[in-house]
């Protein structure tokens, strides 16, 4: 073996100080080394650059809007932009029936209407989500029943979903929270065994993949949002899709004032809102869809990097993504582990913000069942007609879901986006390590 040359003083100093620097950044290691001074206390910022933001729209959207403006009509039905949107959507999600509409909440209401959810029926879902998940359920005079979450994926706990099934249950709405695919195979098996309709709320999950396949392949209907903050956006808009030949024609009917444009004789025997999209929105979304793969893969890759980088910090528990799944991180969510810290979540997040790492504490302030309208059963001008009529005994004041509540008390969010790169994510990691080192127990 070739003898190693003796190490020079300069090399010794360089390697030792690099090791010490690394050790000082790692929580729980080399505890005797002084931690770097926090930016909050006058130290140097770990992230000295502004948060990158993507340029979300440009020439492609302008060109598509230009085409729409040449048309004599901007009405969605059988017009060019809605057709293009539908075709592009179907390249990702191979479903025969696609109903673009005015919002994600509208898409979910259409799905619940098409599922035949009637007054007093129960729909099981989760309560860490946007209120839009259940608006349609409530407007159909049905009852949202909340199941608990899994502590590490923040998605529905299939066992608790099954426990919540009663003879009144009609459907399950599964939310893929933060773009992380839920346990679709198990939920579908439960739904089938109990003859329930499974609806996927994909509003936060454009481009997510479950066991290598796009989400939407297990639910009978799947709903998307084009609201401004979503991966694919046009300010506001939505879409509902199905491959079921019985449900397909109902999507049009429930999204378009009960007019079944495919089978006009079947029109007007139910009440349905005007949830139509316009050709301008459709043009914009059609152009946006050409960016989907790039956005989804970038977010997924950056999120996976952040998770890997945070993995050895005891005070942080990243969101678990199953090995074969693709989480598209509509925001990066993780949990703070208070037992591992000499500070609370608010102090931790404030210290991170001072370092230039824009984390925020929490997501929605309370689970949906904790909102005043649920606690007071006051959905309709102070009333909940189905409760007053004895069609439900639901009392949201008695609902307590331990995992759900623990997640909301400990979660933190980082506004991950496709404009960031690996170097920026590593700077963020550096900030988290620095603050974690400072507060390590
Ligand atoms: C999980 C989830 N479901 C439903 C919705 C409702 O979508 P929209 O805001 O387009 O009505 C949203 C939007 O924030 C959402 O994140």
Q: What is the pLDDT of residue 22?
A: 43
Our count of domains for the chain comes to 1
Mutate to test the pocket of ligand 1, among 130, 177, 255 (most ligand atoms within 8 A of CB): 130
Q: Does the structure show a pLDDT above 50 at 400?
A: yes
What pLDDT does 327 receive?
98
248 Cβ below 6 A of ligand 1: no
pLDDT tens-digit series, residues 105-134: 999 999 999 999 999 999 999 999 999 999
Residue 283 lies in a domain: yes
Q: Is the pLDDT of residue 148 over 90?
A: yes
When pLDDT is cut at 50, 70 and 90, the band that residue 268 belongs to is confident
pTM of the model: 0.92
Q: Quick one: pLDDT at residue 44?
A: 97
Angle between helices 422-439 and 292-310 (to 10 degrees): 30
Split at pLDDT 50, 70, 90, the class of 428 is very high
The model's confidence at residue 14, banded by pLDDT at 50, 70 and 90, is very low
Nearest CA to ligand 1 atom 7: 104
Q: Which of 46-60, 259-273, 285-299, 325-339 has the lowest mean pLDDT?
A: 259-273
Kindly give the number of the ligand 1 atom that is closest to the alpha carbon of 225.
10
Q: Tell how far the Cα of 105 is from the centroid of ligand 1, in angstroms.
A: 6
For residue 62, the 8-state DSSP code is: H
- Does residue 180's CB lie within 6 angstroms of at least one atom of ligand 1? no
Q: Which long-range contacts (CB under 8 A, 24 or more apart) does 82-90 make?
A: 82/277, 82/279, 82/282, 84/282, 84/283, 84/286, 85/239, 85/282, 85/283, 85/285, 85/286, 85/289, 88/286, 88/289, 88/290, 89/239, 89/241, 89/289
What's the full length of the chain, in residues? 441
Is residue 361 domain-resident? no
Ligand 1 atom closest to the CA of 229, numbered from 1: 14
Q: Is the CB of 156 under 6 A from ligand 1?
A: no
Residue 30 has what pLDDT? Answer: 42
Query: Residue 180 C-alpha to ligand 1 middle, in angstroms?
Result: 15
105 lines ligand 1 (CB under 6 A): yes
Determine, yes or no, domain membership for 393.
no
Residue 385 counted as domain residue: no
Q: 284: domain CATH number?
A: 3.40.640.10
**Closest alpha carbon to 222 in 171, 154, 272, 173:** 173
Give the integer Cα–Cα distance in Å for 40 and 91: 49
Domain membership flag for residue 212: yes
Q: Which of 231-245, 264-278, 307-321, 415-429 has the lowest mean pLDDT?
A: 264-278
* Cα 399 to averaged position of ligand 1 atoms, centre (Å): 23
Give yes or no for residue 102 CB within 6 A of ligand 1: no
Q: What is the mean pLDDT of the chain?
A: 93
Domain presence at residue 257: yes
Lowest mean pLDDT among 133-142, 255-264, 355-364, 429-438: 255-264
Mean pLDDT on 201-218: 98
Confidence of residue 33 (pLDDT cuts 50, 70, 90): low
- Asked whether residue 208 is domain-assigned, the answer is yes
> Sorting pLDDT into bands at 50, 70 and 90, what band is 263?
confident
- For range 329-348, the mean pLDDT: 98
Ligand 1 neighbour 130 (Cβ under 6 A): yes
Which of 15-19, 38-42, 201-205 is the least confident region?
A: 15-19
Phi, psi of 221 (to 5 degrees): -140, 150
Range of the domain at 219: 59-291
Q: Which residue of 105, 177, 233 sits with most ligand 1 atoms within 8 Å of its CB, as the best mutation to test the pocket?
A: 105
Q: Is 110 in the pocket of ligand 1 (CB under 6 A)?
A: no
How much is the pLDDT for 6?
40
Domain-embedded: residue 349: no
Kindly report, residue by residue over 226-249, the tens digit of the pLDDT: 999 999 999 999 999 999 999 999
CB of 153 sitting under 6 A from ligand 1: no
Q: What is the pLDDT of residue 260?
A: 86
- The single residue listed with the structure tokens 């075709």 is 87
Strand 143-146 and strand 122-125: the pairing is parallel
């Amino acid at each position: 073996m070739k003898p190693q040359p003796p190490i020079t003083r300069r090399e010794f100093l360089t390697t030792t100080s690099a090791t010490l620097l690394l050790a000082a950044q790692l929580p729980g290691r080399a505890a005797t080394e002084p931690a770097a001074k926090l930016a909050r206390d006058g130290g140097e910022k770990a992230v000295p650059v502004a948060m990158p933001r993507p340029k979300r729209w440009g020439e492609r959207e302008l060109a598509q809007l230009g085409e729409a403006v040449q048309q004599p009509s901007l009405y969605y039905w059988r017009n060019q932009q809605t057709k293009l949107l539908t075709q592009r959507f179907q390249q990702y999600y191979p479903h025969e029936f696609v109903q673009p509409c005015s919002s994600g909440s509208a898409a979910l209401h259409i799905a619940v209407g098409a599922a035949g959810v009637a007054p007093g029926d129960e729909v099981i879902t989760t309560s860490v989500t946007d209120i839009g998940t259940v608006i349609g359920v409530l407007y159909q005079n049905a009852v949202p029943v909340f199941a608990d979450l899994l502590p590490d994926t923040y998605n529905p706990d299939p066992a608790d979903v099954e426990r919540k099934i009663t003879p009144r249950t009609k459907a399950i709405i599964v939310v893929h929270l933060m773009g992380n695919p839920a346990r679709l195979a198990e939920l579908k098996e439960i739904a089938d065994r109990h003859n329930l309709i499974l609806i996927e709320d994909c509003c936060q999950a454009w481009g997510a993949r479950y066991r290598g396949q796009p989400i939407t392949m297990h639910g009978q209907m799947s709903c998307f949002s084009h609201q401004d903050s979503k991966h694919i956006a046009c300010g506001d808009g939505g879409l509902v899709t199905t491959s079921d030949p019985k449900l397909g024609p109902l999507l049009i009917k429930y999204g378009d004032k009960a007019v079944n444009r495919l089978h006009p004789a079947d029109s007007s025997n139910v009440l349905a809102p005007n949830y139509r999209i316009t050709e301008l929105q459709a043009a914009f979304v059609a152009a946006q869809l050409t960016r989907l793969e790039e956005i989804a893969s970038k977010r997924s890759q950056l999120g996976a990097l952040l998770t890997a980088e945070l993995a050895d910090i005891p005070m942080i528990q990243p969101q678990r993504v199953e090995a074969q799944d693709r989480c598209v991180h509509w925001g990066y969510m993780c949990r703070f582990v208070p037992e591992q810290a000499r500070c609370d979540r608010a102090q931790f997040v404030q210290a991170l913000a001072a370092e230039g790492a824009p984390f925020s504490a929490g997501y929605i302030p309370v689970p949906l069942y904790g909102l005043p309208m649920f606690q007071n059963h006051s959905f309709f001008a102070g009333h909940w007609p189905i409760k007053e009529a004895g069609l439900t005994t639901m009392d949201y004041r008695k609902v307590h879901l331990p995992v759900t509540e623990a997640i909301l008390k400990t979660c933190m969010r980082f506004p991950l986006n496709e404009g960031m790169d690996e170097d920026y994510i590593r700077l963020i990691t550096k900030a988290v390590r620095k603050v974690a080192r400072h507060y390590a127990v």
